[in-house]
Amino acid sequence: MEFCKPLVTLVSDFHLDEKGMAEVAAKYGADRWFNEQYTPENDVSDSEFLIEFMARSCYKSFGVGLNPNVTKVREGNAEYLANVIDSGHGSVLEHIQLNFMFQDVSRVFTHELVRHRPGVAISQESLRYVRLTDLKCFDFPRLKSELTDEEEEWFRAIVKRTFEYLESVQDEMTDKFNLNNEESFARKKKLTSRMRRLAPIGLLTNIGWSANFRTLRHVIPLRTSKAAEEEIRWVFADVGEMCKRKYPNIFFDMEWNSDDDGTGLGEWKIIPKRIRDLNKFLSINFKENMYILYMGKTAIFSHTNRFVVNCLYDNISIELRRWGA
Ligand SMILES: Cc1cc2nc3c(=O)[nH]c(=O)nc-3n(C[C@H](O)[C@H](O)[C@H](O)COP(=O)(O)OP(=O)(O)OC[C@H]3O[C@@H](n4cnc5c(N)ncnc54)[C@H](O)[C@@H]3O)c2cc1C
């Protein structure tokens, strides 16, 4: 019996067929755009480039002059994708699918994961075929506010004892049915299938999960939210980190808020455009003992000396404190 943390691996990396793309771009009259943009200096992943290409192909907006209706175009991958995403054109994000392997995740986790349906493909380890030998369990982060150290130790001990007992039950059935000497795969499968019913839902297993960018943008915030279960939060914290690092223009509006409780957990949040705009326009000035909070050019609050401002606007909370004169 072993306690393990889930292992999250991104096992794919999409590459453009440069020759094919160049041919298509030329037919659109967009060869200049392609040659200028698809360069090693332009630090954009092939996935992000493809999404930009597909989106621009809808309006022939590779540059001015290709479509007489278009008199100006957004320049660059980051600006273009931000506008596509802010406008809600989610279907373009479905062109790219990422492939993850989640190892040492429980059946609690996989049961929650498979509730997300559109834009995914799943290959789950079959416990009808794969016979259980060592049973592993999620290495729980400490619940500092809910359990004392003594209660945590007690809980880990009872998990260990139960898993070891259930491991011994699997061994006992293997011996009784003489499975190690069995020739017939059909018999082994039938019995393995029956035996798995005596395994705990918390046992660790593996699942391959593929999801397109649109689905990822939906699932990562949902499954890292404080309301979600700790193991799925753990996994999707990693998934979010990988997505943000590798595809910054697709996940430009996703921000990490740590729980700050030592568990390493936190929430990935998509910050809506209206909130990002508000942040951009907010500025705070301090002048002769007076604080002024600006939104754009409008001063929305001012006060003197020793004050607290709590400005609540949607999810934003701004707190200014100045103690003493
Ligand atoms: C914190 C948390 C607690 C939960 N607790 C429970 C629980 O106690 N019991 C339980 O049963 N489940 C629970 N769930 C699972 C939850 O009910 C959903 O099944 C899961 O989150 C997936 O829902 P989704 O709407 O995001 O669908 P997804 O399958 O991820 O679909 C993504 C989006 O696609 C669209 N879509 C998908 N299918 C359709 C359709 N048929 N028609 C129209 N639009 C569609 C919707 O906009 C949807 O939001 C929980 C989930 C979370 C995050």
Protein residue with least CA distance to atom 24, ligand 1 = 116
For the stretch 176-195, pLDDT in tens is 999 999 999 999 999 999 99
Average pLDDT score over the chain: 88
Please state the pTM of the whole predicted model.
Answer: 0.88
For the stretch 40-71, pLDDT in tens is 999 999 999 999 999 999 999 998 888 888 88
Residue 83's pLDDT is what?
96
User: In the predicted model, is pLDDT for residue 157 greater than 70?
Assistant: yes
According to DSSP H, which parts of the chain are helical?
18-27, 31-37, 46-59, 77-86, 107-113, 149-176, 185-195, 213-224, 230-246, 273-281
What's the CA gap between 280 and 300, in Å, rounded?
Answer: 15
Judged on CB neighbours under 10 Å (0-12, 13-18, 19+), 161 is: exposed
User: In the predicted model, is pLDDT for residue 126 greater than 90?
Assistant: yes
Ligand 1 pocket mutation pick from 116, 213, 235, 265 by most atoms within 8 angstroms of CB: 116
120 lines ligand 1 (CB under 6 A): no
Residue 252's pLDDT is what?
96
278 closest CA partner among 318, 218, 321: 318
Residue 12 Cα to ligand 1 middle (Å): 26
For range 259-284, the mean pLDDT: 79
For the stretch 91-122, pLDDT in tens is 999 999 999 999 999 999 999 999 999 999 99
94 lines ligand 1 (CB under 6 A): no
Domain boundaries, the chain: 11-94, 273-322
User: In the predicted model, is pLDDT for residue 81 greater than 90?
Assistant: yes
